[in-house]
Structure 1
Amino acid sequence: MATLEHVQGLVVDALTDPALDRVVDLVAVPEGPRGAPRSVVVANARGAVRLHPGGTHEVLRGADPVADTDPMAFLPYEREVADPSPPNERNAYPEPARRLLSLFGDAGRSPDVVVVHTPGHYFPDEGGHRGEHGSLDVIQSRAPLLVAGAGAANEGLVDGYARLVDVGPTLAAAAGVPAGALVDADGRGLDGQVLASLVEPGRRRVVGILWDGAHCGELLALAEADELPGVARLLERGTALRGGAVAEFPSVTLTNHTSILTGVGPGRHGVLGNVFYDRRTGQRVVPNDASTWHRSAEWLEPGVRTVFELVGAHRGDLQVPTASVNEAIDRGAAFSTMAMVRASGSGNGAAGLGSMLPDPAASPFLGQRAHLADGYYAWATQVDDVALQLMLQLWESVEAAPALSWWANTVTDAGHHGGGPRSAMARDSFRDADRRLQAFLDRLDALGVTDDVTFLLTADHGFEGADPACTGSWRPALERVLAPTGATWRDEGPGFVYLEPAG
């Protein structure tokens, strides 16, 4: 009878065949019991390495496929532009041990093998786009991080980086949560830390802004060129890190929305990807869908606390201590868009409310109507217009404003998926989002409170451009090697491979 370790070995051998190296960047396998890996092996056609807790690399054969771990790679931005979607030998993979060990830390949901696409892999038949993310590599993992306003350092653009798990603790501390309360429900410290050198702890009103999929380097370049006046205005009163914030792995939407808003990695919060399999229930889970977003908090593991719960427990002085606008991970928020969806009784979540959304062609924030031919862009325009109106309602007066307002925007993700980074569609999506930001800042100006608010602008991941000529799938190789063993398997994502040996 084949063991799990034997079947994992067959999969790794099959997927590290040089014939697949155009589409397979890395293969990662945990060592140790499910949910408690003691190490992780990362391999590709060039070599293999064992990664230990703490980050030690033990080369097993050939070249270390994640030897370069520099989170500041491809900076200044001109270097990235000159070498887009680089191959493994020129790429960088920040904190690979920590991020992979976290992913493999959930016994019920973690895959048995992870397959990482090459940056250029184009796979539209399996859900891919012209612009892609999800990788362990530095560009797909680099989200922007900008802080501004009250309590924020005012240094402009600086070298440095943070992690997305640091965002939640930083927001909470700025809104008044004491350091000793930044723990999960079991009293364990968070994975993230307060970025006190960037934002002083306090008891202020805080606005967290997420531009989904916002490419870090391009956002900062456009802001410096004054093509994003709203972002430029924040940068004049704050600090942005050129290295941005490193996403958790995989660098996908729901994993990192959850990591941001809980301050812990996927192995603790349980939302391992936009799609994953839960062995305990025998169900395929797809949280990143308009029909299921309103249920996302259901998949949080026990003990996890959201930033809304943390802030709400310490800002009882306000009628609405926290607000979650267009955010799936909303548990504990006093005001929540997803709570409105849940209360609507729609059997298909937000997907069933499309007729209630505004006409995207009538949006005053839309720069190029031609982009509405892309269905995702059109939908994102609608929901982002609604989100802005909700933010303006929440900030009708200073007295009514929440201690923490979290405002998620989608059009930037649509623009980058549809056109790829640095495309006209991606740049126009930045401009559309910036016009909404300016409208919100105008409201704060009218209230006379702009200088009293702490702002944090970030994203959930970066983006790289796929090469339409770089096609193919690793699934035939999986079928070929696993069929003779009798093992059952599933490849979710694709990239999360779950295995059950025969017998």
Structure 2
Amino acid sequence: MSREAVVAALTVPELAPVVDLVVWVEDGVAVAANHVGRVRLHLDGRHEVVSGQDPVASTDPMAFLPYAAELGAPGPRVSTDNAYPYAARRILSAFADADRSPDLAVVHTPRHFFPDEGGHRGEHGSLDVIQSRAPLVMAGPGVRQLGPVDDHARLVDVGPTLAVLCGVPETDLVDGRGEPLDGAPLAQYLQLPPAPAGGSTGGSTGGAVGVPKKVVGILWDGAHCGDLLAMAEAGELPGVAWLLERGLALRGGAVAEFPSVTLTNHTSILTGVGPGRHGVLGNVFYDRATGERVVPNDAATWHRSAEWLRSGVRTVFEMVNDHVPQQNSPRTASIDEAIDRGADYGTMALLREAGGFQAAADGMGDLMPDPASSVFLQHPEHLDDSYFHWGMQVDDLGLQQLLQLWEDAESAPVLTWWANVVTDAGHHGGGPRSAMARDSLRQSDARLVAFLDHLETLGVRDEVTFLLTADHGFEAADPGVTGSWTPALDALGIPYRDEGPGFVYLL
């Protein structure tokens, strides 16, 4: 009864500018509602309209493509003009954790601007296709050379794909309980030899080009899929263009899990399972079992994020290490990534050893690079944004770690995961296609080029396999569309928590 009262209060026309959808699970079925109607979303694709009009009529993961179509409608305004890929599956996963999942989730409209509650000029977190579309580019040994492809994947496919590229047999793409992952390797885009007797190498999809010796996974946090590919094709991102020449990119990118926020999808990428299984429900959530408000996406707790992984979850680092002989140098490395459990080398592990982020920061002192003197700085005015300023420091330090790990090719890790953050800062600060967002893409590409040049010096650039992705997409909020659903909830007199905001827990 309380949930129905909350749904009724949130789906009134007066809140339509800020409330895109209210979603929950009822009797094992995903449900979505707003002011135009209510629908039950079944895994077999059926939409059972309960009342009014179907508010999520389209679930097309290729909506607003080619990119010109998105540019022609840069911010879908109502749900009936939008698309919600894998809506049923993603909602079910977000509500599968009995202790941490909310009773219902409120999805902001793409145009909702809520800086007083943590929002930005550029925004993500929604179930909709543009905020959920991360880029996916692959290149190098083991990857087919197809260039841009009119297709899509899911972010839970990234970890399994990295694993098989590193030689993990597909039979071992399971969680700690032996259950299959939610994602699967993108076999149709790989060229790996059949696994020999004993199953010591990865999946089979055609030409016997050999399992790559070294794999580098790259995450540009929040990088906008359409703009990234358009800039690469226009010659503005030569590093990405180099990857495209030697591999492929999916124009539909990779669909994020819901909510399309940072820690939820970093974890989904690196475990191959959705939030209902890995337990990192969002950047902030409530744990009923402990009575704890969990905020993994914070400088004070970022290095602890792997602590909130549910039992039975395996990371890609653990999968790869299970199939690579122990050696003196790191087999797996995690640079500036929160979900680093199992990696032989991890930036967050160093922070944990130092006693936490603040202790490490105090101890490092002047060791943090000065972004004002960075060779990658193109527009000094963007340093006025504190997040952009910090993001440049982190990414410059990340490149230093990468070059140290790759001092020589022989001792370099089999799997290197390299997370970058300034792209998220640029897209939050200015919104997609803004000067700040494009500056962040160009400088991240310049760091990639610096690494590619280093590999060329080592004579191994064409021997390394790359996978470049992000954790979510971005849309531009409208500063003229403000407001909050909090007064509507408060007026009900029902005890609740609203974390995020958007995760509503009824107490």
TM more than 0.5:
yes
CA distance in 1 between counterparts of 2:306 and 2:503 reads: 21
Quick check: 2:212–2:464 contact (8 Å CA) kept in 1?
no
Residue 204 of structure 1 and its aligned partner are, at CA, apart by: 2.5
Matched residue SS, 2:281: coil
Structure 1 portions without partners, runs of 5+: 1-5, 33-37
Residue identity opposite 1:493 in structure 2: G
> Could you list the per-position Cα deviations for residues 481-500 of structure 1 after superposition, in whole angstroms to 9, with x for gaps in the alignment?
2x1xxx32100000000002
Aligned to 1:284: 293
Partner residue of 1:414 out of 420, 425, 430: 425
Deviates more, 1:460-469 or 1:191-200: 191-200
CA distance in 2 between counterparts of 1:424 and 1:376 reads: 15
Partner residue of 2:25 out of 7, 24, 30: 30
Residue identity opposite 2:41 in structure 1: L
Residue 56 of structure 1 and its aligned partner are, at CA, apart by: 2.1
> Could you list the per-position Cα deviations for residues 112-167 of structure 1 after superposition, in whole angstroms to 9, with x for gaps in the alignment?
01000000000000000000000000000000000001111101111000000000
Residue 399 of structure 1 and its aligned partner are, at CA, apart by: 1.3
Q: Is residue 496 of structure 2 the alignment partner of residue 489 of structure 1?
A: yes
Q: TM-score, normalised by structure 2?
A: 0.94
CA distance in 1 between counterparts of 2:501 and 2:75 reads: 19
Q: Is residue 220 of structure 2 the alignment partner of residue 211 of structure 1?
A: yes
Aligned to 1:105: 96
CA distance in 1 between counterparts of 2:381 and 2:431 reads: 16
Residue 354 of structure 1 and its aligned partner are, at CA, apart by: 7.1
Partner residue of 1:470 out of 453, 462, 481: 481
Quick check: 2:303–2:357 contact (8 Å CA) kept in 1?
no
Quick check: 1:276–1:492 contact (8 Å CA) kept in 2?
yes
CA distance in 2 between counterparts of 1:82 and 1:275 reads: 34
CA distance in 1 between counterparts of 2:259 and 2:48 reads: 23
Deviates more, 1:212-221 or 1:359-368: 359-368
Quick check: 1:55–1:96 contact (8 Å CA) kept in 2?
no
Residue 435 of structure 1 and its aligned partner are, at CA, apart by: 0.6
Residue 346 of structure 1 and its aligned partner are, at CA, apart by: 3.5
Residue 347 of structure 1 and its aligned partner are, at CA, apart by: 6.6
CA distance in 2 between counterparts of 1:349 and 1:10 reads: 46
Structure 2 CA distance for partners of 1:411 and 1:101, relative to 1, 3 Å: same
Structure 2 CA distance for partners of 1:476 and 1:420, relative to 1, 3 Å: same
Partner residue of 2:29 out of 39, 45, 50: 39
Aligned to 1:293: 302
Q: Is residue 46 of structure 2 the alignment partner of residue 56 of structure 1?
A: yes
Partner residue of 2:344 out of 334, 339, 355: 334
Structure 2 portions without partners, runs of 5+: 192-201, 203-210
Matched residue SS, 1:197: helix
Quick check: 1:360–1:378 contact (8 Å CA) kept in 2?
yes
Residue 31 of structure 1 and its aligned partner are, at CA, apart by: 1.0
Aligned to 1:68: 58
CA distance in 1 between counterparts of 2:363 and 2:338 reads: 16
Residue identity opposite 2:342 in structure 1: G
Structure 2 CA distance for partners of 1:347 and 1:388, relative to 1, 3 Å: closer
Residues 54-453 of structure 1: pairs in structure 2 closer than 5 A: 54-87=44-77, 88-200=79-191, 201=202, 202-316=211-325, 318=327, 319-346=329-356, 348=358, 355=365, 356-453=367-464
Quick check: 2:37–2:51 contact (8 Å CA) kept in 1?
yes
Quick check: 2:212–2:463 contact (8 Å CA) kept in 1?
no
Residue identity opposite 1:28 in structure 2: V
Matched residue SS, 2:157: helix
Q: Is residue 13 of structure 2 the alignment partner of residue 15 of structure 1?
A: no
Residue identity opposite 2:261 in structure 1: V
Q: TM-score, normalised by structure 1?
A: 0.95
CA distance in 2 between counterparts of 1:346 and 1:264 reads: 27
Matched residue SS, 1:324: strand
Matched residue SS, 2:188: coil
Structure 2 CA distance for partners of 1:262 and 1:12, relative to 1, 3 Å: same
Structure 2 CA distance for partners of 1:168 and 1:347, relative to 1, 3 Å: closer
Residue 54 of structure 1 and its aligned partner are, at CA, apart by: 3.0
Residue 177 of structure 1 and its aligned partner are, at CA, apart by: 0.6
Quick check: 1:290–1:349 contact (8 Å CA) kept in 2?
no
Quick check: 1:149–1:237 contact (8 Å CA) kept in 2?
yes
Matched residue SS, 1:26: strand
CA distance in 2 between counterparts of 1:254 and 1:77 reads: 27
CA distance in 2 between counterparts of 1:477 and 1:351 reads: 42
Runs of 4+ that moved beyond 4 A: 349-354
Structure 2 CA distance for partners of 1:349 and 1:272, relative to 1, 3 Å: farther
- Name the Cα RMSD after superposition: 1.2
Quick check: 1:290–1:351 contact (8 Å CA) kept in 2?
no
> Could you list the per-position Cα deviations for residues 355-381 of structure 1 after superposition, in whole angstroms to 9, with x for gaps in the alignment?
341111011111111100000000000
Quick check: 2:300–2:356 contact (8 Å CA) kept in 1?
no
Aligned to 1:3: none
Structure 2 CA distance for partners of 1:350 and 1:218, relative to 1, 3 Å: farther
CA distance in 1 between counterparts of 2:362 and 2:474 reads: 29
CA distance in 1 between counterparts of 2:359 and 2:284 reads: 17
State the identity as a percent: 67
Quick check: 1:55–1:98 contact (8 Å CA) kept in 2?
no
Residue identity opposite 1:31 in structure 2: E
Residue 7 of structure 1 and its aligned partner are, at CA, apart by: 0.3
Structure 2 CA distance for partners of 1:108 and 1:336, relative to 1, 3 Å: same
Deviates more, 1:442-451 or 1:456-465: 442-451
